[in-house]
Amino acid sequence: MFLTTQISFQYADNERRTTTASLANGALVLRHEIGHSIINVGEEYDGGFAYFGVNAVHNLLAVTWTHWLEHQEDAGALRAQRSVMPMQEYPWTLLNTTEPWSFSFLSSGNYARHLIKFSLSGLPSRDDLTILFDGVDLEWVPRTDIGVDRWHYDVYKDEPLSAGVHKISFVLKNRELEGDAQLCSVEVLEYGTEEEYVVFSLRLIYLEHLMRGQIQHDAWSL
C-alpha cells in the first residue's frame, strides 16, 4: 500500500494499491483499497464490471450477510429493489467558461423518483459553477471545507422523470478556475416506489419458490 501526498489521487492494479492523504477522502479510499488487498472482493459502486466475493451475490437465496441486517425478521424476505441507471459518465475533464459540459440521455418514465450523483474537484464555491438539469438549476452546495479536493454530491428528487430525453449541463462561471475545475463523474439513478418494492419482493419470493417446486403456479394471487 502506497500513500501519496496528492489529495485527489487513488490507484490500484493487481499488485499495488495507492491511497491519498486527503482529509476528506483518505479514509474512504483506504477502506476501499484495503478491501481489494486483503479480501478477494470486487467493486461496490454502480457501473463496474467486477462484482464477486463476499460482498456480492447473484441469487437472493444465496445471500451470506443476512446476520448484518438491522431487521432480522426481514432476512427471509430479501428483495432486489427495482431501479435503473439511464446514464453514467466519467468525464474526468477540466471545465471551461467557453462551453458547458453537457450530456443527454433517455428515460423510460417508468420510475417514481430519481437521484442525480456527481463528483467535482477544484470547485470550492457555489458561485463558481451552475449545474442545470433540463434547464433547471440544481443549486448544488459544495462541502464547506472541501477546498480544491474531490467530493461526491447527491441531489435526490422525490418525483419521476418524464419519458423522453433529458439533459444535464455543468456550466463553469469563474474563468480563473480554468485548469483546476474538474468534472470527475456524473450519473442518474431511477427508483420505484416503496410500495412497489414490497410487491416486487412478493413476486421474487413467488418465483423462487415456484422454480424450486415448493408451490403450484396457482397458489399465489399477485
What is the rounded average pLDDT of the residues 97-110? 97
Contact between 25 and 8 under an 8 Å Cβ cutoff? The reply is yes
Cα gap 222→211, rounded to integer Å: 16
At 36, give phi and psi (nearest 5°): -70, -30
| Residue of 61, 108, 107 lying closest to 80 (CA atoms) | 61
DSSP code, position 118:
E
Q: Which cell numbers in the block locate residue 190?
A: 431511477
Residue 206 confidence (pLDDT) above 50:
no
At 125-151, the pLDDT tens digits run 999 999 999 999 999 999 988 888 999
What domains, with CATH codes, occur in the chain? 2-81 (no CATH), 84-191 (2.60.120.260)
What is the rounded average pLDDT of the residues 186-212? 64
What is the rounded average pLDDT of the residues 60-70? 78
At 160-171, the pLDDT tens digits run 999 999 999 999
What DSSP line would sit under 31-73, residue for residue?
HHHHHHHHS-----STT-S---STT--S-GGG-S-GGG-S-GG
Weakest mean pLDDT among 10-19, 111-120, 194-203: 10-19
Q: State pTM to two decimals.
A: 0.76
Q: What is the CA radius of gyration of the chain?
A: 21
| Residue of 104, 112, 88, 81 lying closest to 188 (CA atoms) | 88
Residue 111 confidence (pLDDT) above 50:
yes
Full 3-state SS string of 74-93 = HHHHCCCCCEEEEEEECCCE
Contact between 37 and 13 under an 8 Å Cβ cutoff? The reply is no
Helix/strand/coil for 5? coil
At 81, give phi and psi (nearest 5°): -75, 135
Cα gap 200→194, rounded to integer Å: 10
Weakest mean pLDDT among 80-84, 98-102, 154-158, 166-170: 80-84
> For 129, how many CA atoms within 13 A lie in the half-sphere containing its CB?
26
